[in-house]
Structure 1
Amino acid sequence: MLIIFYSLLPIIFITALGYALERTNIISKDQWSGIERLAYYLLFPAILFRSIAIADFAHMPTFSMGFALLCSISFMIALILALRPFLEKRFAITGPRYTSIFQGAVRWNGFLALAMADSLIGTEGVALLAIAMVVMIPVLNVSSILVLSRYGDSQEAPTPRKVARDLYTNPFNISIAAGVVFNLLSIPIPAPAMTTLTMLGGAALPVGVICVGASLDLKSLRRPGPALTSGTFIRLLISPLVAAGFAALFGIEGNALIAILIACSVPSASNSFLLARLMGGDAKLMAEILTLQTLAAMVTIPLALVLLG
């Protein structure tokens, strides 16, 4: 319990720091935009490439764990897509707000998950989470880009050509594909390059979370609406149950089961906010979902690990 709690506290502190920096006008709005683009195009791709390129998948339940995770996230994607007409009709959820609900419900904070796995399982936990990253991140990035292209409030119509361009020019997809190639072909990464990637990746999480805090309106959390609550609790309550079910179906137990539960119960990815901001989603709602999820996860993650693991 305490390890999980301590893993989440830094995220809360850094979010609060971003909120304070924005309210004091130390950083202007134009400068915030530059910081967001730096994280989106450089910092997060660096940590994704490095994590996947050096992962050792040979002596782990790679395929069974991968299939369980793929089934889990596919089920969650189908569920949120099926809920869209209901959310629009019952609660008047617009397209951009729906994209934030979608990202909040299906995406995951892989960097927080890696830190928790390292604390709870050790080196094996980091390797197991690397499997989750290879399986989940491409699928969730592609689905999020497609949903944002279709329902986001962008100036360009969501034509097939635009969707395809969003996919093949997305820096996350490019870095993941490059990492897989380096891993499969055992291409060595020179020490200076590895050090550079490590330094860039180390800045990704705090910079991304600071940007989330800078966009936050804490007053909105006092009167949560259906968009905020659904985007928060579908992720934290339903996703771990679905993951546990598929893990049981594929006979996964022990540390691999704990890794799956961590991957499917942590809050949504902090770069969801950056993606929403750059692709016409509701970035403000996304920031609120991320913050509420982080606060609620201090209760839901320990429960998921104790009851399901």
Structure 2
Amino acid sequence: MRYARPVNYAQLLFPDFSLILGGYLICRFTALNRAVWQPVEGLVYYLLFPVLLFQSIVRNPINVHEASGLMAAGLLLCLGGIALAYALPHLPGIGQHMPARTHAGAAQVAFRFNSFMGLALAERVAGSQGLQMIAVLIGVCVPLLNVAAVWPMARQGEHHFLRELLRNPLIIATVSGLAANLAGLHIPGWMAPTVSRIGNAALVLGLMAAGAGMQWGHLQHTRLLSVLLLGIRHLLLPLLAWAVAHMLGLDATQTTVLLAFSALPTASSCYVLAARMGYNGPYVAGLVTLSTLLALASLPFALGLPR
């Protein structure tokens, strides 16, 4: 079954891109410079984004039995993206041109995704059933992806990996959200509006902080890494999703949702995570911006693949 609801990808992606651009212009041309935005990054990282992730995961109950095929497909897709991103420094003739610290901070761009854009897109291409399916993918994939994002930075920075995981607010939020979902817990109705507003603030400030931290020159210095990471995110992952869907025999609706999931732009929190862990935040912010633009091509490409 195919859903014929038209999707205007430019319209869908414009709000995120405009917030990134707004943050960049405000930081460069007003008194609200880097000294203002650095504390904002801390607020987003330690409070706003964790609340947003927890809310996203507990919002819709996960039925493990009914969604087992889709969950397996999502995990295989994510593991494939992680493996491709981690393999880059070991490729013959490429590794020596790839600074280890830069790769450690930016590898997450290749496999993480913008969950709220995924929720909006899934509902438009597959209705309420698609919304439930993308919620399942968020619930099972986000903890794995956040652990994978932290691991190379903790390892490269010679931090204690387990300690970094235990105190990382994004991982704490996603693991506790998944546990609450599986336990049948949910956010009380009287608290939901407040939590929703915090989530909205996380999206706005996170994207604007990414724009404020962006420096285009950093992309020029690591052009090969940029092309490879974004190539994984926007070309290889959709192709891998198509192969996994056929291998596991997903139905048409599940395949549509998985393909949309595979082609999403990377998570805006990539920038905040890299910056807060002492890595090249401006470079990652540039990748987030380019990923948002490239989704204009990768989403129609993925959804146009044969079912």
TM-score, normalised to structure 1, is 0.90
CA shift for structure 1 position 4:
2.1
State which of 18, 27, 38 in structure 2 corresponds to 1:13. Answer: 18
Over the matched positions of the two proteins, sequence identity in percent amounts to 29
Deviation string, structure 1 residues 219-266 (Cα, Å, up to 9, x no partner): 666787102211212210001111111111111122211111121111
Shift of 1:281: 2.3
Q: Residues 264-283 of structure 1: matches in 2 within 5 Å?
A: 264-283=262-281
Tell me, yes or no, if structure 1 residue 79 matches structure 2 residue 77. no
Q: Which residue of 1 aligns with 2:124?
A: 119
Closer, same or farther: CA 144–222 of 1 in aligned 2, 3 Å? closer
Number of positions where the alignment pairs a residue of Structure 1 with one of Structure 2: 302
Q: After superposition, what is the alpha-carbon deviation per residue over 1:107-134, rounded to whole angstroms, capped at 9, x for unaligned?
A: 1111111121122223222211111111
The residue identity in structure 2 corresponding to 1:58 is: N
Write the distance in 2 (CA, Å) between the matches of 1:83 and 1:224: 13
Residues 198/74 of structure 1: CA separation in 2 closer, same or farther (3 Å cut): same
Change (3 A) 1:83 1:220: closer
Match of 1:178 in 2: 176
1:56 maps to 2:54: no
- Give yes or no for the alignment of 1:150 onto 2:155: yes
The match for 2:187 among 179, 186, 189 is: 189
Structure 2: tracts of 5 or more residues without a match: 1-5
Q: Which consecutive unaligned segments of at least 5 residues does structure 1 have?
A: none
Residue type at the aligned position of 2:38 = S
| Aligned match of 1:37 | 42
AA partner of residue 119 (structure 1): R
Question: Residue 31 of structure 1 aligns to a residue in which SS?
Answer: helix
**Is the aligned partner of 1:255 residue 2:253?**
yes
Shift of 1:61: 4.1
**SS of the residue 1:190 aligns to:** coil
Could you say what secondary structure the match of 2:123 adopts? helix
Does the CA-based 8 Å contact 1:233-1:293 persist in structure 2?
no
Q: Would the aligned equivalents of 1:100 and 1:231 in 2 still touch at CA under 8 Å?
A: no
Aligned mate of 2:303, from 295, 305, 309? 305
Structure 2 CA distance, aligned partners of 1:25 and 1:121? 43
Superposed CA offset, 1:75-110 (max 9, x none): 222222222123885552112211244111111111
Q: Is the 8 A contact 1:270 1:290 kept in 2?
A: yes
Residues 146 and 184 of structure 1: CA distance in aligned 2, closer, same or farther (over 3 Å): same
CA–CA separation in structure 2 for the residues paired with 1:186 and 1:126: 18
Is the CA contact 1:66–1:135 (under 8 Å) kept in the aligned structure 2?
yes
Larger displacement relative to structure 2 (200-209 or 47-56): 47-56
CA contact (8 A) 2:81 2:232 kept: no
